[in-house]
Structures are given as structure tokens and as C-alpha cells.
């Protein structure tokens, strides 16, 4: 008489239950991420460009290929009597003592945006979206982003920022759907 091996269905049942839980958890996190990423990015209601003009230090950013190797990054905004704001970006390449690079561009205010949405142009005819999504009441810091959430800059009037302020900004941009795991601090003198 041959013995028939009976499968242990309890093991399979436990395996399927664990697999279902994993699938549900993965699905939940996918939906959560997709929801936060699809949130429409909001800007601040109004920016006083006279207060905004001047020098800003980059504290952190989502790294971009055009900023590769940049340290001590700054942006300076100057109001003009024309229909744009002059933009001058500088950084030291390779190290904080590296050779300074410079690029000049123009920023055009988007109508009916309260001056919080600009289009920045460094090379004609291309313009990039520059949205001011957070701004301190005293204009001591600003957060600039893009609606696709692949571009983000945390700016300060000084080359350093209090950690509590930085952590509050990081929490806020995460809630807005930015991937904070990719944000890099910028070396400043």
C-alpha cells in the first residue's frame, strides 16, 4: 500500500494571508505617495518684490544637473524698470574654495499670481517655472519649487539656518509631496 502525502493547507493559508497583507500595505503606500505627489502645488498668496530682492543663500535643494558640483550657491534678485527681475546666480565649483561660476537671467512675473509665480529665463527662448511656495513673514527665508515637484530650493538671507526652521520647512515640503530623501544641504562658508 502506498502512502499519499497530503499537503499542509494551513501553511499555504498562512502564506497567502501574509502575501495579501504585503500587497495591501504596498497598495496603501502607493496610493498615499501618489496622492501627495498629485496634490496641486500652492504658492504663497503674495510676494512684495521690493522686499524679496537682494541676495539669497541656498541652504538646500533637490540637486539638478546644471548645479552639479556647486557650493556656496547664491542668487541675487534686482528689480528693473523693465518688465522683469534681474537674476544673478553664483556658485563655487568643486569645493567651497573652488572657481566661482556665474549666470545671469531674467524672471518674469506671471499675471494674477500675486508675484508668487515667475518664469525664469537663462537661455532664450526657454523659461522655467519658479514658484514661491513658502516665505517667512520677515522675508528671512523662502522656499521655491516647481509644480512637477522635481525642483526645490530652500533659501535664506544668511548662509546658515536654524535647525528648527529647516526641519519645519522639510516637514512642510514633504506634506506638499516633495521627495525629501533627495534633498541635499548646500555647503556654504
CATH of the domain at 164: 2.40.128.20
Output the pTM of the full model.
0.79
Task: Please tell me whether residues 15 and 91 are part of one structural domain.
Answer: no
- What's the pLDDT band for 29 if we cut at 50, 70, 90? very low
Q: Is residue 3 in a domain? A: no
178, 110, 106, 109: which is closest to 145 by C-alpha? Answer: 178
Q: What is the pLDDT of residues 150-189, one digit of tens each?
A: 999 999 999 999 999 999 999 999 999 999 999 999 999 8
Q: What is the pLDDT of residue 4?
A: 54
Distance CA 77, CA 7 (A): 73
Task: Please tell me whether residues 16 and 88 are part of one structural domain.
Answer: no
In the numeric block, the cell 516637514 is attached to: 171
Distance CA 95, CA 167 (A): 25
Residue 115 gets the label, from left (phi > 0), alpha (psi -120 to 50) or beta, of: left
- What's the pLDDT band for 8 if we cut at 50, 70, 90? low
Task: Please tell me whether residues 162 and 73 are part of one structural domain.
Answer: yes
- Please tell me the total count of domains within the chain: 2
93, 96, 146, 94: which is closest to 120 by C-alpha? Answer: 146
Amino acid at each position: 500500500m502506498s502512502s499519499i502525502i497530503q499537503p499542509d493547507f494551513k501553511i499555504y493559508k498562512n502564506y497567502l494571508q501574509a502575501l495579501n497583507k504585503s500587497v495591501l500595505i504596498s497598495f496603501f503606500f502607493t496610493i498615499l505617495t501618489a496622492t501627495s505627489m498629485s496634490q496641486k502645488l500652492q504658492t504663497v498668496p503674495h510676494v512684495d518684490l521690493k522686499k524679496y530682492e537682494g541676495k539669497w543663500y541656498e541652504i538646500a535643494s533637490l540637486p539638478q544637473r546644471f548645479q552639479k558640483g556647486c557650493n556656496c550657491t547664491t542668487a541675487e534678485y534686482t528689480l528693473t524698470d523693465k518688465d522683469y527681475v534681474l537674476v544673478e546666480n553664483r556658485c563655487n565649483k568643486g569645493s567651497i574654495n573652488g572657481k566661482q561660476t556665474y549666470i545671469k537671467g531674467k524672471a518674469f512675473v506671471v499675471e494674477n499670481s500675486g508675484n508668487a509665480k515667475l518664469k525664469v529665463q537663462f537661455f532664450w527662448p526657454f523659461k522655467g517655472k519658479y514658484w514661491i511656495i513658502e516665505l517667512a513673514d520677515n522675508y528671512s527665508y523662502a522656499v521655491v519649487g516647481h509644480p512637477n515637484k522635481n525642483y526645490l530650493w530652500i533659501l535664506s538671507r544668511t548662509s546658515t539656518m536654524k535647525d528648527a526652521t529647516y526641519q519645519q520647512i522639510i516637514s512642510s515640503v514633504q506634506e506638499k509631496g516633495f521627495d525629501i530623501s533627495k534633498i541635499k544641504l548646500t555647503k556654504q562658508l
